Chain A
Amino acid sequence: MAGKLKDEILYDHNHDGIDRRGFLKCMAWAGTGALCVMSGGVLKSYSLSRLPELSSKNAMGELNFVQISDSHMGFNKPANPDVAGTLKAAVDKINALSVAPEFMLHTGDISHLSKPEEFDTVDQILKSARPKDVFYVPGEHDVLNDDGKQFLERYGKGSKGAGWYSFDKKGAHFIGLVNVMNLKAGGLGTLGHEQLEWLEDDVKHLKHSTPIVVFAHIPLWSVYPEWGWGTEDSAQALSYLKKFGSVTVLNGHIHQTLQKIEGNVTFHTAASTAFPQPEPGKAASPGPMKVPAEQLKSVLGITDVNYVQGQHALAVVDSTLA
């Protein structure tokens, strides 16, 4: 069925699919969203508008989870004076999915100013979501003033260092990384030596066929270093994941959806549930993008991820809140 769809984009990686010449980029800017499935070195990409045609076959997987990001609770400026309302809308959207997601990932900037009441509000809203388990990594807005102490107390149980950890779900290995601590002047996001060592050790024992899902706040690839949209030492982290056939990297931070497929690695950023940010370099700064109220929900969103065991590919689907 999928093969008959119009507008389907097929890229043949040929060879082993790791060749850099097979570098692929598929972008889905704010408000559009795309589903990307990579299997056996072939990428299929579908625009969000085609999802109803796909849902019966591809929306069902053995593992189905949702990524939300950048709720920025406490933000109340133009662009979105009601971030609690749009987070609730995201939860409604999640609760309306045909297959209940097993859990949620929150890729950081839960709060805007690291205030206890901001975290409390998010916790309260997420309680009404059908998936009860939420796995968090901090954004830079969650670790203000206290080096992340509060974040660790609230969300970091059982984590290592500044809050990194891993877990397994139905044969897939999930790794939550922290790249918002100890940022250096003029630099990008940083993982740091201790975390990199932990990561190397964490994946050492895994079979090469294990699907890997890495999630962190700041993109683990250079989206736009001029605006700090990248991570200094991400290349080293990714080098530990080269042996795996399927690696999916999920990030937030840039408040828009963006995807890139490079060899065995699919990079994906999620939209914010709070406010949009401009496309890289398309504005003077990465500050909040003000859009007319009626358009706001079309540039905010959630990400729904399906994992079909045995196919070694994850389907990543962005939905706007509109």
Chain B
Amino acid sequence: MRRSVSIAVLTVALATGVGTITVDQKNILASAQQKPETTEVKIDNFSFGPATLTAPVGTTITWSNRDDIPHTVVSTDGVFKSKVLDTDEKFSFTFSKSGTYPYFCSIHPKMTGKIIVQ
């Protein structure tokens, strides 16, 4: 009898513990869905990294130029357009509508990237 009570207590404790962990996991998942893994696109060696970035509606993406050469971030469809970014300068844009947004560097048009907003 004593033994079975202990087991019951242990079971409750375990169940509670498991429950807590599950809630934490849900929170982590929820926050992962709200925020993409990265909101920064790095410009390095004449390329955008990551070249394709998927993010939820409302995300603000920041591009930072880490090259010794100036670059721009220009939407192919005219949705956004940065000024010329010299070394270490940044440009941000908030995506309020879902869709696919291809962009390029208007100075070095071989540099292309894409933001997918879901």
Contact = CB atoms under 8 A, between A and B. Distances in A.
Contacts of B107: 140-141, 144, 183
Of listed A185, A284, A286, residue having the most chain B CB within 10 A: A185
A285 interface: yes
A219 to B, nearest CB: 14
B108 A228 contact: yes
Interface residues of B, number: 22
User: Chain A binding site: helix, strand, loop or mixed by DSSP?
Assistant: loop
A286 B86 contact: no
B34 interface: no
B110 to A, nearest CB: 4
Of listed A188, A227, A285, residue having the most chain B CB within 10 A: A285
Given A113-B84, A287-B69, A186 B46 contact: no
Contact of B109 (A77, A145, A183, A288): A183
A145 B83 contact: yes
B10 to A, nearest CB: 58
Contact of A186 (B47, B86, B87, B112): B112
Given A113-B84, A285-B47, A187 B109 contact: yes
Interface string A108-125: 000011100000000000
Contacts of B84: 113-114, 144-145
A296 to B, nearest CB: 15
B109 A186 contact: yes
A227 B45 contact: no
Interface string A222-236: 000011100000000
Given A113-B70, A144-B84, A186-B104, A287 B45 contact: yes
Interface string A123-149: 000000000000000001100110000
A238 B116 CA distance: 41
A186 B83 CA distance: 19
